[in-house]
Amino acid sequence: MIRVVDCAERIAAGWGQNYHHTALATAISDLYNDLIAFPAAWPPHRRNSFTLGAADTAACELTTLLDDYLDTYIDSKVEDSLSMLAEDYFIWQIDDLLPARVAEQAIDDPGRGEGSMTACSPTQRWLNRRVATFW
């Protein structure tokens, strides 16, 4: 979880200065790509699509969480507090929420997933023509 701590500390250190939504979502997406275990059948484009969507949602939620904290509590250890909040949020996402979402999507669609060209193979086109002419 050193990667989580490092990411949380970088976000807290640059909060309100260095991180806009896109930069935050990119940092979170990189973290998720490194730490989430995906099914072996998922190709890279499906993994990236999943992590980009999850990171975008996480960036919105984390922005709200940290901004609300700053609006509510003003203390001398704000950066430490923001880092702890971000770290807890990432650990919850990586350990609990995202693995459950990956498993759910793998059950719903165990194959190649969105953007797959499986049905465009010559064999599939031939089978589609055979079925169409049969009826």
pLDDT tens, position by position, 29-45: 999 999 999 998 889 99
pLDDT of the residue at 17: 75
Quickly count: other Cβ atoms within 10 Å of residue 20's Cβ.
Answer: 10
pLDDT value at residue 123: 66
From the list 12, 6, 48, the residue with the least C-alpha distance to 29 is 48
The structural domains of the chain, with segments of one domain joined by +, span 2-134
Single pTM value for the model: 0.64
The per-residue pLDDT for 5 is 86
The whole-number pLDDT of residue 128 equals 62
Average pLDDT, the chain: 79
Whether the Cβ atoms of residue 93 and residue 106 lie closer than 8 Å to each other: no
**Backbone region of residue 121 per phi and psi (left: phi > 0; alpha: psi in -120 to 50; beta: other values):** beta
| Rg of the chain in Å (alpha carbons) | 20
From its phi and psi, is residue 113 left (phi > 0), alpha (psi between -120 and 50) or beta? left
Q: Which two tokens stand for residue 126?
A: 């031939």
| Terminal CA-CA length for the chain | 58
pLDDT at residue 108 greater than cutoff 80: no
